[in-house]
Amino acid sequence: MSLRNTLRAFPTLLRVGFAEALAYRAELLIWVLSTTMPFIMMALWTAVAREAPVGPYTQEGFVSYFLGTFVVRQLTGAWAAWQINFEVRQGTLAMRLLRPMSPLWGYAAENLGAVPMRIMVAVPVAVFSVLVVGEQAVPREWWGWPLLLVALLGGWLITFLANVCIGTMSLFMESSNHVMDVWLVLFFVLSGYMFPVDVLPGWMRTVVDWLPFRYQIGLPVEVMTGDRTWQETLLLVGRQWIWVLLLGMLAVTLWRRGLRRFAAYGG
């Protein structure tokens, strides 16, 4: 199927993905409850900042940051790596390959189809954040809003494409779930999910700036809470989209080469 026809069919795939999210809403709720780590870290870091600010963060700053982290986590989550692993091992990937479009579009639609339900969880938290900390919870300049949307889309794409890359490795090995475990550990430590990148020593921030993890969570949260000038924000968003491009090329290359090794047997 041509790219034009695939894009025309994509809204239908999104509707199917949304219907699946509704059908499996209990699992989705469990997944949401498993992402409450920012609330725990908020309690910890606000206690640490009770006597004096930690780096640029006061107690209010940490509240704004970690409530934003919870919201961004809901909007940029993806689970394609586990889907691909399961379908490769079960052989059900063969059913997707019979469709007249790349299975990668199907994975993207199923992951995006759950976003409306996750927005229903994220919006009350965002509103609560505005009520508690005021304008610090949202962009204070007009340019912050469009850049926030770009940063959120870039964060989701990095998460999804990394999932595809790691999930596709299951076509080369027995299972890539352990690779995903390693990725998640690095994600928790380096993405800004458990603490803001700004509290790290200078040399570590430099390293983190060149890795993809902070562009999944930390950057969208920083744009949301307005911690950067527009020049700094543009530079970081540019780096984020370089990672989107690199991971996109890697995902397509791994997928095409991996499919040559795929074999499914039915009975």
pLDDT the model gives residue 82: 92
pLDDT the model gives residue 91: 86
The whole-angstrom separation of Cα 196 and Cα 183 is: 19
Residue 34 lies in a domain: yes
Residue 132 lies in a domain: yes
pLDDT the model gives residue 62: 93
Q: Which residues of the chain have pLDDT under 70?
A: 1-2, 264-267
Number of H helices, E strands in the chain: 13, 0
pLDDT the model gives residue 35: 80
Residue 211 lies in a domain: yes
Residue 267 lies in a domain: no
Residue 130 lies in a domain: yes
Tell me if 201 sits within 8 A of 209, measured CB to CB.
Answer: no
Residue 266 lies in a domain: no
Any idea which residue has 């989209």 for tokens? 241
What are residue 57's DSSP bridge partners?
54
* Total tally of structural domains belonging to the chain: 1
The residue segments making up the domain with residue 136 are 3-261
The whole-angstrom separation of Cα 228 and Cα 223 is: 7
What are residue 54's DSSP bridge partners?
57
Chain-centroid distance of CA 189 in Å reads 15
Residue 256 lies in a domain: yes
Residue 238 lies in a domain: yes
pLDDT the model gives residue 266: 59
pLDDT the model gives residue 264: 67
